[in-house]
Amino acid sequence: MSIPVAFVAASVIEAVAIHFLVPWQWLRVVLLVATVLSLIAIGGWLAGRVVHPHLVSARTVVFRSGTGIRVEVDRSRISRASMVRRFGETANVIVDDRLVLPGPDGTVVDIDFDRPLSVTLPKRLSKGSRSTLIGGLRLHVDQPGEFCAALSRD
């Protein structure tokens, strides 16, 4: 969460600095509009994470990242869920046969499947073909301990 907060703080500081440093009114207005639009984009990105959360039910788990990625897995296919903090990736990507669904500060949970799972992903992740085999997931959740405990319950 620290990266979006840093962007918001920088945008607010930028808006104040523009007001004092730019002498032309028309340019101040244009830059202020650009700043407000960037703040709206950051807010929309954060709202997408809240509106489309990961879901754990009695039989299945749904892993989501915004509206573009949705992976539904039967709970019996999950062999292990562990808390592992990683800062390397901050964008959706496939690394070492794992689908990475990070938050702004990386990932906090690793999930292994009992065997590779075929999933449908956006073209930018699947390298041409829509269906991709993954052996697990790395993802960000707000409360990793509770999430791992919910996955381990029968």
Encode 62-75: b = buried (16+ Cβ within 10 Å), e = exposed.
ebbbeeebebebeb
Q: Which residues, in sequence order, are bridge partners of residue 86? A: 107
pLDDT attached to residue 104: 74
What is the percent of the chain with per-residue pLDDT over 90, rounded to a whole number?
27
Task: Please say whether the beta carbons of 83 and 148 come within 8 A.
Answer: yes
* pLDDT of 80 strictly over 80: yes
Using an 8 Å Cβ cutoff, are 109 and 147 in contact?
yes
